Amino acid sequence: MNGTLKRVAVACMVMFGLLLLNVNYLQAVKAEEYREDNRNFRRFFQRYENQRGRIIAGNEVIAESVDTKGDIRFERRYRNGRLYAHVIGFFAPESERGIEAAQNKLLDGTSADLVVRRAVDLLTNKPTRGADIELTIDPRAQRAAYESLRRAGRKGAVVALDPQTGAIKAMVSLPTYDPNELAVPNKGKVAQAYNKLDADKDQPLLNRAIETTYAPGSTYKVVTTAALLSEDDTVGPQTTVDAPQVLDLPGTSVGLPNYAGAACGSGRVTLQFALEKSCNTPFAKIGMELGYEKMKEQAARFGIGEPLQIPLNVAPSSIGKKEDDAALAMASIGQRSVQMTPLQMAMVAAAVANDGTVMKPYLVDKVVSPDGDTLEETEPDELSEAMSPDAARKLRQMMVSVVAQGTATAAQIPGVTVGGKTGTAETSDNAPPHAWFIGFAPAENPKVAVCVFVQSGAAGDRATGGGTAAPVAREVMQAVLRR
């Protein structure tokens, strides 16, 4: 063999070797990445080959896959999509959101729990079917929450819980969107629809119930009161507390007034009266006297700051970092650095209703196989002990008084004893306040705990917890109790 042929042979061997290396690299290292790449058209069509399971609320099927008999075998459809959008999410060509994402492997049938079913489908040459997800949502409560906020044209959120189990009966966020527009098997149309929603200044894609936090205003006085009751078991609704018209804030040249600068009784009132009228100064003083660490401990006993999945991810609530006494006074009335999700404040109300026990909130009641067998069923789970049953009983009594003759009379339901607390949270200079209400009913044996949040500006400059949020809560509680 002459020199030229040798060089050609060596070059061929080198190129063959490089080719083998590249093939092995692609198969061993990059295969998974390419398989999952959204530009992979095979993957695109595979997403629609399985018949995803249904999502059910009450007896209503709110999401299902429909057989088109075409190239795109199964298309996802949502009934009353706007009503349930922030709970169920959507199944788009390249992504999922909400329950569609959190329960994806069960819905599309690839979960290990469905391996036998997949084998049967393979042998019978039938498309794989996913499991059904049954939610805890009560359609009547969900519709009442949605319609009440929608009619008023308000931005905000509503959460209703079963205080004894933690089951979420309603979770609504407005403004909302139609998930059907994001579920069509057309990447271009979905991208256009998604980008339009994403650019909307009113943030319709945002689940205000769990994905972000807000200043809770005076609804947080329930946590401050719980801290005092837990610290001293001799304290009760008739215990008198200082209630100056303006409270000096240590280290500052300003004072903390009550709402609209009003007096709080004679300046020394019962704890129940202070909560009824939502006076600021008594609770700010109580917070400073208890100190940051005890206030933080009480917040933690309500689950504040704990990571939470329902199974959707919940943004952590917080009372903020330790600062000076003036900041603590503001935090004790739900201002300054205190930031809560509406779900977290519903949990506070539920704990008071449930003798001080905080139940872990959850959205999925059951997972049912295509054959009708129950694969999973959620058992209620205790999250924490916020306060003693005796302290909870005292706090319930005070919250009932708030609805009976205090700032929350708009939450009254004829023939039902309701407990609650209003909140009107300052946001920033010259910006309208947030309006809040938390409560429960019936007070003797609570079946529902609720939180209503109306975002700054959505109800005008004069929005208040009592006038704006409490009527919405009344409709939701009535819807649950009528069952």
Active site residue 384: no
Q: Which of 10-14, 130-134, 169-173, 407-411 has the lowest mean pLDDT?
A: 10-14
CATH class of 219-364+381-481: alpha beta
What tens digit of pLDDT does each residue of 88-127 get?
A: 999 999 899 999 999 999 999 988 888 777 777 777 777 7
Angle, alpha carbons 316-320-322 (nearest 5°): 145
What pTM does this model have? 0.89
Q: Which CA distances in Å does 376 have to 37, 103, 120, 336?
A: 31, 12, 21, 42
| Length in residues, the chain | 483
pLDDT of the residue at 137: 97
Percent of the chain with pLDDT over 90: 71
What tens digit of pLDDT does each residue of 28-64 get?
A: 777 667 666 666 666 677 788 889 999 999 989 999 9
More confident site: 419 or 37? 419
In whole angstroms, what is the distance from residue 64 CA to residue 50 CA?
Answer: 12
Judged on CB neighbours under 10 Å (0-12, 13-18, 19+), 251 is exposed
Question: Above 70 in pLDDT, residue 458?
Answer: no
More confident site: 242 or 4? 242
Q: What mean pLDDT comes out for the span 73-90?
A: 95
Q: What mean pLDDT comes out for the span 360-385?
A: 95
More confident site: 261 or 382? 382
pLDDT of the residue at 235: 97
In whole angstroms, what is the distance from residue 79 CA to residue 181 CA?
Answer: 12
In whole angstroms, what is the distance from residue 466 CA to residue 469 CA?
Answer: 6
What tens digit of pLDDT does each residue of 183-201 get?
A: 999 999 999 999 999 999 9
More confident site: 139 or 254? 139
Q: What mean pLDDT comes out for the span 155-161?
A: 96
Q: What mean pLDDT comes out for the span 419-424?
A: 95
Question: Above 90 in pLDDT, residue 22?
Answer: no
Helices (H), 291-388: 292-301, 325-331, 342-353
Q: Which of 17-31, 83-97, 411-425 has the lowest mean pLDDT?
A: 17-31
Q: State how far Cα 347 lies from the chain centre.
A: 10
Instruction: Answer whether 90's CB lies under 8 Å from 78's CB.
Output: yes
- Catalytic annotation, pick one of 148, 218, 278, 401: 218
pLDDT of the residue at 40: 65
Question: Above 90 in pLDDT, residue 243?
Answer: yes
Instruction: Answer whether 271's CB lies under 8 Å from 239's CB.
Output: yes
Q: State how far Cα 397 lies from the chain centre.
A: 27
Q: What mean pLDDT comes out for the span 310-336?
A: 95
Burial annotation 54-79 (CB, 10 A radius, 16+ → b, else e): bbbbbeeebbbbeeeeeebbbbbebe
